[in-house]
Amino acid sequence: MAIVNITPDSFSDGGRFFSPEAAVRHGLDLLDQGAGILDLGAESTRPGAVPVTAGEEQARLLPVLEALHRERPTAVLSVDTYHASTAEYALAGGAEILNDVSGLLWDSAMPAVVAQHRPGLVLMHTRGTPQTWSTLPALPHSEVAALVGRDLRLRLAAAEHAGVPRENIALDPGFGFGKRGAENYALLAGLGELRAFRLPIVAGISRKGFLAQTVDAALPGHARSAVAATRGYPTLAANVAAILAGAHLLRVHDAAAAAEAAAVADALLAEL
């Protein structure tokens, strides 16, 4: 699942693909690199991000979605949104998957939209909001995975109660979304606990800040790679770890590198 950020302020590549033309070119490049899904997002949810209106989100998103659907009508398109009105427009414009980082919590109309149209749904776990993450109390590492599992169970039950078919749902533990620093490693180490749901598991670890913190603490500046600023190598390591721990789908910025790393992880899993 390759990321197309149509935003000026995303933490990794904000502004690089903000124009519709640049976003469409980038999406097509990612498909050519082997991405199985394109995940289009028009509102940053980085820590401290300022929310945008649904109207602004749609003005950024819909021209790109429609162009990609026109250029590659068989491509699987996902939309990263928690706004029900954006979801409605996106599904009408060719999206097949909704990726709701709030787990259907931030817009009370979203469950009904998903139940009516029955797209694929990535149901993600988050604590708080981007504006409150820096103030959240620390989590004991031994409790992180269990907390995420309990909360996802509640969100899954709410989705099913609203009429969302269980077979349409994938679960995302929400790396970085209300988990800080090494709490994310505790979550990664306990990712296998989500297998009990018997649903696809999505891992969105690509270029997250906790990876950079690890490298900064472990290596002096002169020992870091030339691509350290992109967090590319730590991302590959984390993606392989996620696959070995049970992830079925990787949400990534670099589709080609992720596909190569996944091939090696899959080959190892086949022998276990």
Model-wide pTM > 0.85? yes
Least confidently predicted of 13-22, 109-118, 169-178: 13-22
CATH of the domain at 6: 3.20.20.20
Q: Which residue has the tokens 């296998």?
A: 192
Known active-site residue 251:
yes
What's at 133, amino acid-wise? Answer: W
Q: pLDDT digits over 19-53, tens only?
A: 899 999 999 999 999 999 999 999 988 777 788 89
C-alpha distances in angstroms, 219 versus 72, 78, 89, 213, 266?
A: 43, 37, 46, 10, 29
Q: pLDDT digits over 205-250, tens only?
A: 999 989 988 988 888 766 666 555 568 899 999 999 999 999 999 9
pLDDT of residue 79: 98
> Which domain covers residue 68, as residue numbers?
2-271
Residue 84 to residue 92: CA distance in whole angstroms: 13
pLDDT of residue 216: 84
Task: Considering the candidates 60, 127, 179, 251, report the single residue annotated as catalytic.
Answer: 251
Is a pLDDT exceeding 70 seen at residue 121? yes
Please state, for a pLDDT cut of 90, what percent of the chain lies above it: 81
Give the mean pLDDT of the chain: 92
Known active-site residue 208:
yes
pLDDT of residue 224: 63
Count of domains observed in the chain: 1
Write the CB contacts of 3 (distance below 8 Å, at least 6 apart in sequence).
Answer: 39, 41, 206, 251, 252, 253
Task: Considering the candidates 155, 179, 207, 208, report the single residue annotated as catalytic.
Answer: 208
Average pLDDT over residues 63-71: 97
Q: Give the three-class secondary structure for 192.
A: helix
Least confidently predicted of 30-39, 109-118, 131-140, 157-166: 131-140
pLDDT of residue 219: 80
